[in-house]
Amino acid sequence: MKGLVFPLVALVALQILAMVWGIESDNLASPVSVLQAAWTAALDGTVLTAASHTLSTTLGGLAIGGTLGLLLGLLIGLVQPIDRLLTVSLEFLRPVPSVALIPIALLIFGLGYRMELVIVAKGCFWPILIMTRAAIRGIHPRLMEVSRMLKLGPVARIWKIFLPAALPRLFVGLRLAAGVGLTIAVTVEIATNPYGLGYAVMFAQQSFRPDLMFGMLLWIGIIGWSFNAFLLFAQNRLFGRAALVGARS
Amino acid sequence: MNKNTTRTGKILWLLASLAFAAALIAGWQLIANMRLISPVFLPGPDRAFDAAVTGFESGELGGKLLLTVERMIYGWVLSSILGVALGTLIGSSALARSYFGPTLEFIRPLPASAIAPIAITLFGLSNASVLVLIAFGTIWPMLLATIHGFAAIHPRLTEVGHVLKLSRLETIWKIALPNAVPDILASMRLGLTISLILTIVGEMLMGLEGIGNSILLAARSFDAPNLYAGVILIGLIGLVSNLLLDMMDRRLLRWRPSR
Give per-residue pLDDT as tens, A150-187: 888 888 888 888 888 888 888 888 988 998 999 999 99
Cross-chain Cβ contact B117/A4 below 8 Å: no
Q: Using a CB-CB distance cutoff of 8 angstroms, which residues of chain A are in contact with residue B4? A: 84
Taking only the tens place, the pLDDT of each residue in A104-162 is 999 889 888 899 999 999 999 999 998 898 888 888 888 878 888 888 888 888 888 88
Scored b (16 or more CB within 10 A) or e, B126-159 reads eeebbbbbbbbbbbbbbbbbbbbbbeebeeeeee
List the single best residue of B2, B8, B17, B140 to mutate versus A (max A Cβ within 10 A): B17
Q: Residue A152 is which amino acid?
A: L
Q: How confident is the model at residue A65, as a pLDDT?
A: 95
- B171 CA: distance to closest CA in chain A (Å): 26
Cross-chain Cβ contact A103/B219 below 8 Å: yes
Q: Angle at CA B177, nearest 5°, toward B172 and B182?
A: 165
Q: Are A71 and A199 in contact (CB under 8 A)?
A: no
Q: How confident is the model at residue A228, as a pLDDT?
A: 86
> Is the model's pLDDT at A247 over the cut of 80?
no
List the single best residue of A5, A34, A104 to mutate versus B (max B Cβ within 10 A): A104
Q: How confident is the model at residue A23, as a pLDDT?
A: 62
Domains and CATH numbers, chain A: 31-244 (1.10.3720.10)
- Identify the closest residue of chain A to B16 by CA–CA distance: A85
Q: Among partner residues B17, B120, B224, which is closest to A88 by beta-carbon distance?
A: B17
- What is each CA distance from B147 to B70, B159, B177, in whole angstroms? 28, 20, 10
Cross-chain Cβ contact A190/B109 below 8 Å: no
CA separation for the pair A224, A175 (Å, rounded): 12
For chain B of 259 residues, list the mean pLDDT of each consecutive stretch of 10: 66 88 89 83 87 87 91 93 90 81 79 85 86 89 87 79 80 80 86 91 89 90 90 91 85 64
Q: How confident is the model at residue A26, as a pLDDT?
A: 64
> Is the model's pLDDT at A94 over the cut of 90?
no
Of A60, A98, A73, A93, the closest CA to residue A169 belongs to A73
Q: Using a CB-CB distance cutoff of 8 angstroms, which residues of chain A are in contact with residue B6? A: none
Q: Angle at CA B115, nearest 5°, toward B246 and A217?
A: 130
Q: Is B109 on the interface with A (CB under 8 A)?
A: yes
List the single best residue of B12, B201, B233, B237 to mutate versus A (max A Cβ within 10 A): B201
Q: Using a CB-CB distance cutoff of 8 angstroms, which residues of chain B are in contact with residue A102? A: 204, 216
What lies within 8 Å, CB to CB, of B132 at 6+ separation is: B115, B119, B122, B123
CA separation for the pair B32, B151 (Å, rounded): 55
Residue A90: alpha-carbon gap to chain centroid: 21
* N-terminal to C-terminal alpha carbon distance within chain A: 32
Residue B33: alpha-carbon gap to chain centroid: 35
CA separation for the pair A115, A98 (Å, rounded): 12
Q: Are A37 and A29 in contact (CB under 8 A)?
A: yes
CA separation for the pair A150, B124 (Å, rounded): 67
- Identify the closest residue of chain A to B202 by CA–CA distance: A191
- Identify the closest residue of chain A to B41 by CA–CA distance: A108
Q: Is B41 on the interface with A (CB under 8 A)?
A: yes
Q: Is B224 on the interface with A (CB under 8 A)?
A: yes
List the single best residue of B15, B118, B130, B192 to mutate versus A (max A Cβ within 10 A): B118
Whether ipTM tops 0.90, in short, is no
Q: Count Cβ–Cβ pairs < 8 Å, chain A vs chain B.
A: 158
* A249: confidence class by pLDDT, cuts 50, 70, 90: very low
Taking only the tens place, the pLDDT of each residue in A15-42 is 887 777 766 666 677 888 888 888 988 8
CA separation for the pair A98, B108 (Å, rounded): 20
Q: Residue A143 is which amino acid?
A: L
CA separation for the pair A122, A62 (Å, rounded): 9
Cross-chain Cβ contact A88/B220 below 8 Å: no
Q: How confident is the model at residue B10, as a pLDDT?
A: 84
Q: Is B234 on the interface with A (CB under 8 A)?
A: yes
Q: Is B173 on the interface with A (CB under 8 A)?
A: no
- A205 CA: distance to closest CA in chain B (Å): 6
CA separation for the pair A214, A28 (Å, rounded): 9
Q: Is A92 exposed, middle or buried (0-12, 13-18, 19+ CB in 10 A)?
A: middle
CA separation for the pair B223, B57 (Å, rounded): 18
Q: Are A76 and A68 in contact (CB under 8 A)?
A: no
Scored b (16 or more CB within 10 A) or e, B77-96 reads ebbbebbbebbbebbbeeee
Which whole number is the average pLDDT over A222-230?
Answer: 88
Q: Are A205 and A27 in contact (CB under 8 A)?
A: no
- A89 CA: distance to closest CA in chain B (Å): 5
Q: Is B111 on the interface with A (CB under 8 A)?
A: yes
Which ranges constitute the DSSP H helices of chain B?
7-33, 45-57, 60-91, 94-107, 115-123, 127-151, 155-163, 168-170, 177-206, 211-220, 224-252
- Identify the closest residue of chain A to B196 by CA–CA distance: A97
Composition of chain A by helix, strand, coil, percent to 5: 85, 0, 15
